Structure 1
Amino acid sequence: MDKPIVSVDWLHQNIDAENLVILDATIPKVGTKNETNINKEVISNTRFFDIKNTFSDKESQYPNTILSAEKFQEEAQKLGINKDSCIVVYDDLGVYAAPRVWWMFKLMGFNNIAVLNGGFPAWEKANFNIEKPKEHSFTRGNFIADYQPEKIKFTEQVLSATKNNTILIADARSKGRFYGTEPEPRKEIRGGHMPNSVSLPYGEMLSNGRLKSTEELKKVFEEINPKNNSLIFSCGSGITACILALGAEIATIKNYAVYDGSWTEWGSRTELPIIK
């Protein structure tokens, strides 16, 4: 993969490649019910990448917490992923959860992965082959994790960044949540935003369910970050911050990281400063 996104046409043309792995990373959008969709369909030969139940630390008090490198490696191997796999990841909402998986693999030192631009809706619209989800058994893969700590930030590092004028925190939540004028989906969490942060709703990365062009994305980032500071991306629980990370990657920005705990952790810890 020489780009972080691929088109549905590209995937269709390469669907029979021997080392291709297609992952469905669909999760419900925050604030919606987690209902089983009996009518669900998938791209042929898709494997389900379970962000919530398999690829998040279930012992953490915060949702979607990243696994250790060792545990991630084990679960990726169980999914049949190899060191030479070529991964395309998508979700049912266009571009929502798939960038989280892209970022996870990048965090684990694996770069041969791309997000399907437009996701399942774009694939279906193109009238390419779909099928009902199937149970798969996989030969255990030989994937090896090579953890890249510069791609992730934790709360104490973000707290330090709130006082650093060479770093900018970009928040992917809605402007209403950022300014505390609309409630958080998780009622126990305070509203508002971190010091030294700017509002950059993840929808600013998208146009009609697809990632904007490189030039459009460069313009978005130039507007919020004219000094070209290092960037930390945050959101509600670490999912849509990765859409900002994907947008930055397309815009050829490299000096960024994702705050894994995001606002769920920050807003829960009453000793941390907030602005409304």
Structure 2
Amino acid sequence: MASPLVTVDWLNQNLNNPNLVIIDATMRKITWEKNEFKNSNLQIIGTRFFDIKNTFSDTSSPFPNMMLSPDKFQEQAQKIGINKESKIVVYDTIGIYTSPRVWWMFKSMGHHNIAVLDGGFPEWNKRNFPKENTSKYKGDLGNFIADFNQNYFCDYKAVLNSISDKKKTIIDARSEDRFDGVKEEPRKGLRSGHIPNSRNLHYNDLLVEGNMKSKEELIEIFNPIIAGGSSATFSCGSGITACILALGAEITGRKNNTVYDGSWTEWGSLHELPIEN
């Protein structure tokens, strides 16, 4: 895709593209109360569901939402009909929340023909574009092949080494009160605070009513945080909203960034790792 972001108008005009695959990556927010989550029974016409938590995460890991192995990712992507030539558009029912995680996952697996739908399902629904009742994919297996690039994700050891590296900036997408350690983490048993020398940029600061801010606005946001020529490591609670920052950075032209897959759920659990608050 020419851009990591597409509009609902673009998607509506390209619905008949034979290589187009639309996937819904909606996942419940950990910070929501149980009764706040209302999963719509409607979807964009032709959508296939991409189950991040139960299918496209390593459920054997003690930490949530960790990346699958390339072989397992390939197998599950084929099951929802993803082909090597697929032009993927990913959305969620919140606006932009979990969809950038799927965009980043596919890019890490060598599939760059993917974009996030700006505004997601709310924007699509507001424009009254074609919808249908949700349904399970029953089509053919795809021929998707995973070609994993490990540079898209990093572990806590790499982050630990980055703390004192002036050419690398660690940016945390959590809210300011969680970053500062004044608000208890939503997951039980985690320490409060942040990775030493990391910067705070709440993912919501990149959004306006569920849409990404303009490239010019994003440049103004990132310029004071990421020094020229340096790369960024994005972190959050469990590797989801860090990918919103990765998307915003890519829109500004910043490349060679990485996402800390375990994020604060891992870092805050490992008591041998340093924290600040």
Give the TM-score band, short-chain normalised.
over 0.9
1:168 matched to which residue of 2? 169
Name the CA distance, whole Å, in 2 between partners of 1:180 and 1:172.
14
Name the CA distance, whole Å, in 1 between partners of 2:118 and 2:217.
15
Structure 2: gaps spanning 5 or more residues: none
Name the CA distance, whole Å, in 2 between partners of 1:19 and 1:139.
14
What is the CA deviation profile of residues 200-257 of structure 1, one whole-angstrom value per residue up to 9, with x for unaligned ones? 1001211121011111111111011234421000000000000000001111100210
Counterpart of 1:114, as a letter, is A
* Partner SS state of residue 224, structure 1: coil
2:262 matched to which residue of 1? 261
Counterpart of 2:264, as a letter, is W
Query: CA 1:173–1:37 in structure 2 vs 1: closer, same or farther (change >3 Å)?
Result: closer
> What's the TM-score, normalizing by structure 2?
0.97
1:209 matched to which residue of 2? 210
1:70 matched to which residue of 2? 71
2:151 matched to which residue of 1? 150
1:28 matched to which residue of 2? 28
1:244 matched to which residue of 2? 245
1:101 matched to which residue of 2? 102
Name the CA distance, whole Å, in 1 between partners of 2:213 and 2:138.
36
Contact residue 233 and residue 259 of structure 2 kept, 8 A: yes
Aligned residue-pair number: 276
Counterpart of 2:259, as a letter, is V
Counterpart of 1:119, as a letter, is G
Counterpart of 2:103, as a letter, is W
Contact residue 169 and residue 232 of structure 2 kept, 8 A: yes
Structure 1 runs, 4 residues or longer, greater than 4 Å off: 33-39
Name the CA distance, whole Å, in 2 between partners of 1:188 and 1:221.
32
Structure 1: gaps spanning 5 or more residues: none
Contact residue 6 and residue 117 of structure 1 kept, 8 A: yes
Name the CA distance, whole Å, in 1 between partners of 2:161 and 2:44.
43
Counterpart of 2:32, as a letter, is T
Contact residue 172 and residue 202 of structure 2 kept, 8 A: yes
Query: CA 1:212–1:38 in structure 2 vs 1: closer, same or farther (change >3 Å)?
Result: closer
Name the CA distance, whole Å, in 2 between partners of 1:91 and 1:38.
10
Contact residue 49 and residue 136 of structure 2 kept, 8 A: no
Name the CA distance, whole Å, in 2 between partners of 1:56 and 1:118.
24
Q: How does 1:107-146 map to 2 (within 5 A)?
A: 107-146=108-147
Name the CA distance, whole Å, in 1 between partners of 2:166 and 2:38.
46
Q: Let me know the Cα RMSD of the aligned residues.
A: 1.2
In the alignment, is residue 44 of structure 1 matched against residue 48 of structure 2? Answer: no
Contact residue 222 and residue 228 of structure 1 kept, 8 A: no
Counterpart of 2:96, as a letter, is V
* Partner SS state of residue 194, structure 1: coil
| Offset at residue 135 of structure 1 (A) | 2.5
Counterpart of 2:209, as a letter, is N
Name the CA distance, whole Å, in 2 between partners of 1:37 and 1:263.
26
Name the CA distance, whole Å, in 1 between partners of 2:270 and 2:22.
38
* Partner SS state of residue 121, structure 2: helix
Query: CA 1:162–1:40 in structure 2 vs 1: closer, same or farther (change >3 Å)?
Result: same
Q: Percent identity?
A: 55
> What's the TM-score, normalizing by structure 1?
0.97
Query: CA 1:105–1:38 in structure 2 vs 1: closer, same or farther (change >3 Å)?
Result: closer
Name the CA distance, whole Å, in 2 between partners of 1:16 and 1:77.
21
Query: CA 1:242–1:162 in structure 2 vs 1: closer, same or farther (change >3 Å)?
Result: same
* Partner SS state of residue 268, structure 2: helix
Counterpart of 1:178, as a letter, is F
